[in-house]
Amino acid sequence: MTHHVFVLGEMKDGTVRSVSIEALAAARKIAGNHPVTGILFGEHANENSDIMIQHGADEVITADHQALRQYTTDGYSQALLQVLPDNQPIVLVIGHTAIGKDLSPRVAAKIGMGLITDIVSLEVVNGKPIFTRPIYAGKAFEKKTFKETSGLVTIRPNNVEPLPKDQSRHGKKSHVQVNIKDIRTVVKDVMKKAGGGTDLSEAKIIVAGGRGVKSAEGFKPLEELADVLGGAVGASRGACDAGYCDYALQIGQTGKVVTPDLYIAAGISGAIQHLAGMSHSRVIVAINKDPEAPIFDVADYKIVGDLFDVVPHITKHLKDDASES
């Protein structure tokens, strides 16, 4: 069946987010030889059109409006509904982010199309896309597809391989005017947390600490290791509840779900709620003094020892290797 596939791109700090590049790769697979259209909203939309085209879009539609400078559910949903075509079979792909999780059910309900969220892989069988998503906190997986001709999917970050950047690709660019009214929520100011660094949900490398760090000061060795590796710092709920770090760093069933290439768990026992948020990382390294810690059951590499001895040793070794190369 012929589908016109759309991707709503997200931008952070003036550039397209990695998960939107991955969404383009998913859209390209769904579309086959049919067109993929990227959509960008906000003041930096025009300047990022080429990035979308170079990563798989055949066309990019942009729109700017005062109500689109910061994300609001009302603003983005109104703009998106005006951009998408009426009465045509479409597939809309969005990143499974805070924005994607908030926006997707509203748009799907307004258009009357199916919604499949938190996709970790997809395949196309006889021209029909089949999506795989985790259930029961990652203990099992289900395959789903759309009953009707149209549908909306959200893609979990770090699960779909992005297409290589191709600077020779060219595509159509168009800018549209949107009419946005009745905004019930207004963003007055955005305050970024100090030391926010790399977004946890998109980080390729994460160094996470649990109660074993013992204090806020105990996160410093983890931050140094993450800095050397070019990664992000995360935490278990236990560390957050103890006041060692901000809840923005929490990974687990009630925090962020992450799938980095490398996950280093230091001083984390491995409660089932935490495992639900990180157990599908590609490589897991666990550091814990307790050889019976549950985290070792999912770890690829296990280090039994004090994190305050092990982590600085790894950091020093990496720095020495870097200075010699």
What distance in Å separates the CA atoms of residue 84 and residue 199, rounded to the nearest whole number?
Answer: 29
> How many distinct structural domains can be found in the chain?
2
Query: Of 31, 141, 143, which Cα lies nearest the Cα of 91?
Result: 31
Contact 194, 159 (CB under 8 A): no
Question: Can you give the pLDDT at residue 1?
Answer: 47
Residues 166 and 124 grouped into a single domain: yes
Q: Binding site for FAD: residue ranges?
A: 211, 236-237, 250-254, 267-274, 288
**Contacts of 181 by beta carbon, 8 Å cutoff, 6+ apart:** 78
Query: Of 162, 159, 176, which Cα lies nearest the Cα of 62?
Result: 176
Question: Can you give the pLDDT at residue 189?
Answer: 80
In a domain, 71, yes or no: yes
What distance in Å separates the CA atoms of residue 236 and residue 11, rounded to the nearest whole number?
Answer: 28
Query: Of 30, 281, 1, 11, which Cα lies nearest the Cα of 153?
Result: 30
What distance in Å separates the CA atoms of residue 68 and residue 187, rounded to the nearest whole number?
Answer: 10
Beta strands in 9-119 (DSSP E): 11-12, 15-16, 36-41, 59-63, 90-95, 114-119
Tokens of 52: 């979308």
What distance in Å separates the CA atoms of residue 6 and residue 78, rounded to the nearest whole number?
Answer: 16
Sole residue written with tokens 């908030």: 102
Contact 208, 234 (CB under 8 A): yes
In a domain, 195, yes or no: no
Residues 112 and 230 grouped into a single domain: no
What distance in Å separates the CA atoms of residue 248 and residue 163, rounded to the nearest whole number?
Answer: 30
Residues 167 and 276 grouped into a single domain: no
What distance in Å separates the CA atoms of residue 198 and residue 144, rounded to the nearest whole number?
Answer: 32
Count other C-beta atoms under 10 Å from residue 144's C-beta: 16
* Longest CA–CA separation in the chain, Å: 62
User: Which strand (E) or helix (H) includes residue 301?
Assistant: strand 301-304
Domain boundary among 141, 175, 209: 175
Residues 135 and 207 grouped into a single domain: no
User: Which strand (E) or helix (H) includes residue 227?
Assistant: helix 220-229
Residues 165 and 256 grouped into a single domain: no
Q: What is the residue range of 315's domain?
A: 200-324
**Contacts of 218 by beta carbon, 8 Å cutoff, 6+ apart:** 209, 212, 244, 267, 308
CATH for 35: 3.40.50.620
Residues 166 and 207 grouped into a single domain: no
In a domain, 184, yes or no: no
Q: What is the pTM of this model?
A: 0.87
What distance in Å separates the CA atoms of residue 261 and residue 279, rounded to the nearest whole number?
Answer: 11
> What is the mean pLDDT for each group of 10 consecutive residues in the chain (325 residues)?
84 93 96 94 94 97 93 95 90 96 96 95 92 90 90 95 94 95 83 66 94 96 96 96 94 92 96 92 96 96 97 94 77
90-114 burial, b if ≥16 CB within 10 A, otherwise e? bbbbbbbbebbeebbebbbeebebb
Residues 210 and 161 grouped into a single domain: no
Residues 117 and 166 grouped into a single domain: yes
Q: Binding site: residue ranges?
A: 211, 236-237, 250-254, 267-274, 288
Chain centre to alpha carbon of residue 67? 24
Question: Can you give the pLDDT at residue 305?
Answer: 96
